[in-house]
């Protein structure tokens, strides 16, 4: 099937393809009348310059790839929303990839993107990876990359993160001030930078108030709801913390469920605080005290940074790091 292309349009107008092409781009010389005539005809036939032909010729795709661990997650969907807004304003399109925390998929996505499909990548890394050298292949080709939130520390590229250490310190301190003496820290992957920073804030806050660190209170959880439920119940029964600080939203929910199951009252018997982007945290039973990251803002900043790399690479320091502040929002789950 023959498509309606620039040749057809040129023929219909009695012009050459070069003239028609010029009508769609601003830089070249073409008379106003001719341009109008061409654009009118194009609208009539609903003609759009073929994206693949122009990109092949121009060597850029006006597309950015967004790689995230999961989609059905408040933080990431808000961040993507921010990215999408910036991209649309710039006339860029976004490709979405979900790794589901699978290292193989992450590598495979990145490798695929070497084929010119995207001009740049915005990525929040999966937790499982150990060997990140595949990303350096990337930088050889200079495909611009921006990390957000979850980063690999050994890869040098601009990043947008939040003040995780401070937030964790404050969150832990808040629990302590509310009277907690045995505070558990729940994490999904201790090795990921984000887990480490958040944990350090927790540790240092304990130290400041001279609360001894107990590693039975640091619990490495999984992505499985059922397993987490078991792990948490065991923690609550065997170790018996009086406060819980969760490094990811999902673990705060898991804590609620475990408490419901065990008939433990929040906040009377257990105070809970967690990193979370849930907009309806006030509606929970009890309303959840959160460390809330500016998710949409993070997406916007990451996209802006990537566009800066695309438009003026020399102005971007590869070590550039934008740090946004999370907010500690106190609610009933940590009341005295």
Taking a C-beta distance cutoff of 8 angstroms, is the pair 297, 160 a contact?
A: no
Cβ 243 vs Cβ 271: under 8 Å: yes
Check binding of 70 to its own copies (CB under 8 A).
yes
Q: How far is the CB of 116 from its own copies (least distance, A)?
A: 5
- What string of DSSP letters covers 98-137? E-TT-HHHHHHHHHHGGGTT-SEEEE---S-----HHHHH
Binding mask of the shown chain, residues 12 to 51, with x at each position contacting DNA by CB under 7 A: --xxxxxx-xx-xx-xxxxxxxx------------x-xx-
Measured distance CA(210)–CA(213) in Å, rounded? 9
Look at residue 184 and give its three-state secondary structure: strand
- 63 touches DNA by CB under 7 A: no
Cα–Cα–Cα angle for 69, 72, 76, rounded to 5 degrees: 55
Q: Which of 19, 49, 218, 308 binds its own copies (CB under 8 A)?
A: 49
Give least dist CB 166 to its own copies, A: 26
Window 290-309: contact mask with its own copies (x via CB under 8 A): ------x-------------
From candidates 40, 71, 207, 323, binder to its own copies by CB under 8 A: 71
User: How many Cα atoms are found within 13 Å in the side-chain-facing hemisphere of 325?
Assistant: 5
With binding defined as CB under 8 A, does residue 263 bind its own copies? no
DSSP for 10-72 reads HHHHT--HHHHHHHTSSSS---HHHHHHHHHHHHHHT----HHHHHHHHT--SEEEEEES-SS
Least Å distance, CB 261 to its own copies, is 11
| Binding site partner of 94, from its own copies, DNA, none, Cβ cut-off 5-8 A by kind | its own copies
Q: Under the rule (CB under 7 A), what is the footprint of DNA?
A: 2-3, 5-7, 14-19, 21-22, 24-25, 27-34, 47, 49-50, 53-54, 56-59
Q: Under the rule (CB under 8 A), what is the footprint of its own copies?
A: 3, 46, 48-53, 55-56, 59, 61, 63, 70-74, 77-78, 80-81, 84, 88, 93-98, 105, 111-112, 114-117, 137, 140-141, 253, 256-257, 260, 278, 280, 282-287, 296
């Amino acid at each position: 099937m023959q498509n309606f292309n620039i040749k057809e349009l040129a023929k219909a107008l009695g012009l050459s393809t070069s003239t028609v092409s010029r009508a769609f781009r601003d830089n070249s010389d073409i008379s106003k009348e001719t341009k109008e005539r061409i654009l009118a005809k194009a609208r009539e036939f609903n003609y759009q310059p073929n994206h693949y032909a122009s990109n092949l010729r121009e060597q850029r795709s006006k597309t950015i790839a967004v790689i995230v661990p999961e989609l059905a997650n408040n933080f990431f969907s808000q961040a993507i929303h921010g990215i999408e807004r910036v991209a649309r304003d710039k006339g860029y399109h976004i490709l979405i990839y979900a790794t589901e925390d699978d290292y193989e998929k992450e590598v495979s996505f990145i490798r695929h993107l070497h084929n010119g499909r995207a001009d740049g990548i915005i990525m929040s890394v999966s937790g499982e990876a150990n060997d990140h050298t595949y990303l350096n292949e990337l930088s050889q080709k200079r495909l611009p990359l921006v990390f957000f939130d979850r980063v690999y520390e050994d890869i040098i590229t601009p990043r947008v993160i939040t003040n995780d250490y401070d937030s964790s310190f404050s969150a832990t301190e808040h629990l302590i001030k509310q009277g907690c003496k045995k505070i558990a820290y729940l994490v999904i992957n201790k090795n990921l930078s984000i887990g480490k920073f958040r944990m350090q804030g927790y540790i240092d806050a304990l130290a400041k108030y001279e609360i001894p660190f107990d590693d039975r209170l640091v619990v490495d959880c999984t992505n499985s709801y059922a397993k987490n439920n078991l792990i948490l119940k065991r923690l609550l029964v065997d170790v018996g913390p009086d406060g819980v600080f969760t490094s990811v939203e999902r673990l705060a929910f898991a804590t609620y469920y475990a408490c419901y199951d065990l008939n433990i009252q929040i906040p009377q018997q257990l105070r809970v605080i967690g990193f979370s982007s849930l907009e309806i945290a006030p509606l929970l039973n009890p309303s959840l005290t959160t460390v809330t990251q500016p998710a949409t803002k993070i997406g916007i900043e990451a996209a802006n940074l990537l566009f800066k790399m695309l438009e003026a690479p020399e102005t971007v320091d590869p070590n550039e790091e934008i740090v946004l502040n999370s907010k500690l929002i106190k609610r009933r789950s940590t009341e005295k």
